[in-house]
A and B are shown apart, each in its own frame.
Chain A
Amino acid sequence: MAEVELLRVTRRFGAETALQDLSMTVPDGAFVVLLGPTGAGKTTTLRMVSGLDSPDSGTVRIGGRDMAGLAPAQRDVAMVFQQYSLYPHLTVRENLEFPLKSPVLRTPREMIDRKVGEVAEILQISHKLDNRATALSGGEMQRVSIGRALVRNPAVYLMDEPLSSLDAKLRADLRVELKNIQAVSGATLLYVTHDQIEAMTMATHVGVLDRGRLVQFGTPREIYEDPVSLYAAGRLGQPRINVLPADTFAGAPPGAAYIALRPEHIAQGEGRESRVTRVEHLGDQTRLHLTLGGRDLVTVTDPHTALGAGDIVRIRPRDPLYFDAAGARLG
C-alpha cells in the first residue's frame, strides 16, 4: 500500500483541458472518492495514476516514486473499469487468474487457486467460476471485474464507477464489502462515482473536481458541512441543497448573494410562510416540497406529519451557508 501524489498535473485533449494544475495527495490507506459531473476530469485522473495516459506536465508519484515513463504494469496498480472490462474469450476463473498469471506476478498455482477461491466467495460468484464471461448478467460481470482487482495486492486500487451498473441491493452489499476489504487490508483506494451515498459511506476523503481543477479535498463531513463553494455544496446531499437569494431571510452577511440550506437546516414553526406543494413519505423520513416566493424548496420532516398539499408552514433557516455572486463561500 502506498501514498499517491499528483503534483500540478495538466492534461489537454486538443483544445479541451481535462486536468488543470491538479494537485492532490491520497494518504496511504485512504479511501478517496472523486466527485464531479461528467467531464470534470475524474476518469482522466485515474488514467494518470494508472499509466494508461500520461500528463502533459506535472508529476505523479506512487509511494514516493516518480511514475514518469513507467508502463501500467510497472506501477503496481489495479483498476476496475466502468464497462467492457472482462475478457470475453475467457471463463470467469481465467479472468480472475489473469492478473495473477502476469509476467510481473507469476503466482504459484496453489496461491492462485486460494486467492481466486477467496475473492469468488466474497463476491458471491463461486458457482459461476467456470462460466464464460459473456454468459454472465451485467451485475455478475461487474463483480468479476472488481474481483480481478481484488485478487491482487497492489499499491493502489483505482475504481471507475464500479457499482454503477448494479441493482440497488447488490450495490449496498458491495459497498459494505468494499469498505470492509479496504479497512482490513489497509488498501489505498481512489474511487470515482456519481453516487453520493457511496461517497458518504465509504470515503475517508472526498475530492471535488470542477472542470479539471480540484476545488475541495476533505472528509465527507467537511465537504457536506463546510463546502467552499456552491458547486462543492451541490455535489453532496440528497435531496440537494436548497439555494435561494440571500435576502429571502433576514440576517445575510454583506456581499452574500445566495443562502443555501440543507434540507435538515430548515426549521419549521416560525419565520416566513411557505406553502406545501407535495408530501413524500419515504418510510424513515418524509420529504416536504415547499414553495416560498416562487422558489421550490425541499425539507425533511417527521415521518408522521399531518401536513398535506396546500397547507401553510412557517420556516426559518438554521445554520445557513452564504455564498457570493460567484458561488464562493462567505464567512
Chain B
Amino acid sequence: MSFSVTAPSPAARWIAGLLVALYAIVTLLPLAWIIATGFKSPADAIAYPPKVLFEPSLEGYVNLFTTRTRIAEADFAALPPPGTWYEEIVRDQGMVIAGPSRYGERFLNSVIIGFGSTALCMVLGTAAAYAFSRFRVPLKDDLMFFILSTRMMPPIAVAIPIFLMFRQIGLNDTHLGMILLYTAVNLSLSVWLLKGFIDEIPVEYEEAALIDGYTRFQAFRKVVLPQAATGIASTAIFCLIFAWNEYAFAVLLTSGTAQTAPPFIPTIIGTGGKDWPAVAAGATIFLVPVMVFTILLRKHLLRGITFGAVRK
C-alpha cells in the first residue's frame, strides 16, 4: 500500500484541533453536567437559569449512601452535636440518619454480575472460538450462523419466557441467574469476535509448541492466549459495557437480593422530593468501574477497534 503523505499546513492543524475540541465538548458536556450536579445542593441543581459556578457540597453523596428521617422538633433539639461530617450534612437538612442506603449493595451486585458474566463469557467464548478456529467441527458454518442468529432478535423480546423459566428453576433474583443471562446474551458476539482474532494467529506457533514438547492445552495457554490478549481485552470491554448498563432484564428479574445499580438509581428520585444531586452522585460512581476497566485495557481496545481494517 502506498500513501502520499504531506505535512498538514498550520491552518489545517488549527481547524482539525478545533473540530476535535468541539466534538469533545459536545460529547463530554452531559457527563460533566452529571458530575457537577452530584456536587450541587438540591436547590442549585434545579436553579433556573442553571448554575455553572456553585458552592460544592457533598450532600448528594451523603444522601446517596444513607436513609434519613425527620424526627420531632423537640427531640431534634435535644440531640447531641453531630459526631461526623456526614451527620452534620444531614442535620443541616433538618433530618437524622436512619441507616445506610442500599446503594452500596446494589453497586456491589453490579460488580459481581457485570464482571462475573464478563469473565464467564471470556472463558466460554475463547474456548469455543479456539475450537471453531482450529478444529474440524462438523457443520461449522451452520453452527457459527446459529450462534450469531441468537443475537438477531433483541433479547428483551424473550423477557417473559425467561422470567417464567427463571421463576420455575429458582434463578429469579439471584446473582447466578443474572450472570448466566448476561453471559448467554454476550456469548454469540464474543465467539464471533474472538474467532476472528484467533484466526489471525498463525497455526505454526502452536505447532512449534507441540514439537517443543507441550500438549495442545499447554500450547493454547502459553502461545495462543498471550497473542489473543488484545482480542480478549476488547471483547471483554464490549461484554462488560453491556452487562454493566443492562436495565430491562435487571428491572424484570431482580428486586431484593440481586438487584443491580441501574434499576436502583432511579428509585432514589422517589424518596422524598426529587433529589437530583443524589441521582447524579449515583450515576457518577456507577461510571467509574467501566471507565477504569476501559482505560486499563485501552491499548488493546484501540487495536481491537481497528482490527481487520489494516491489511498486513
List, sorted by A's number, 5 A–B pairs whose CB atoms are closer than 8 Å. Answer: A71-B215, A79-B208, A81-B204, A85-B205, A88-B205
Decide if A52 touches B210 in the complex (CB within 8 Å).
Answer: yes
Check A9 for interface membership: any CB of B closer than 8 A: no
Check B223 for interface membership: any CB of A closer than 8 A: yes
Docked complex: A116-151 residues within 8 A CB-CB of B: 145, 148
For residue B214, which residues in chain A have a CB less than 8 angstroms away from its CB?
A: 73, 102-103
Q: Which 10 interchain pairs have the tightest Cβ spacing?
A: A102-B213, A99-B212, A104-B213, A84-B204, A89-B226, A72-B210, A84-B202, A79-B211, A73-B213, A72-B211
Interface residues on B, range: 10 to 19
Number of residues on chain A facing chain B (CB within 8 A): 24
A104 vs B227: C-alpha distance when bound (angstroms):
24
Task: Known pairs A73-B210, A87-B223; list 13 more (Cβ under 8 Å).
Answer: A71-B215, A73-B211, A77-B211, A84-B204, A87-B205, A99-B212, A102-B212, A102-B213, A102-B214, A103-B214, A103-B218, A145-B208, A148-B208
Decide if B210 touches A71 in the complex (CB within 8 Å).
Answer: yes
Docked complex: B183-208 residues within 8 A CB-CB of A: 202, 204-205, 207-208
For residue B211, which residues in chain A have a CB less than 8 angstroms away from its CB?
A: 50, 52, 72-73, 77-79, 99
Decide if A85 touches B208 in the complex (CB within 8 Å).
Answer: yes
Decide if A98 touches B227 in the complex (CB within 8 Å).
Answer: no
Looking at chain B's contact residues, the main secondary structure is helix
Decide if B204 touches A98 in the complex (CB within 8 Å).
Answer: no
Looking at chain A's contact residues, the main secondary structure is loop
Query: Smallest Cβ distance from B249 to chain A, in angstroms?
Result: 38
Decide if A85 touches B204 in the complex (CB within 8 Å).
Answer: yes
Check B209 for interface membership: any CB of A closer than 8 A: yes
For residue B218, which residues in chain A have a CB less than 8 angstroms away from its CB?
A: 103
0/1 interface trace, chain A 37-58, chain B, CB 8 Å (1 if under)? 0000000000000111000000
0/1 interface trace, chain A 50-93, chain B, CB 8 Å (1 if under)? 11100000000000000000011100011101011101110000
Docked complex: B209-243 residues within 8 A CB-CB of A: 209-216, 218, 223, 226-227
Residue among A71, A81, A104 making CB contact with B208, cutoff 8 Å: A81
Query: Smallest Cβ distance from A190 to chain B, in angstroms?
Result: 13
Residue among B204, B205, B215, B223 making CB contact with A103, cutoff 8 Å: B215
B206's closest neighbor in chain A, by CB? A52
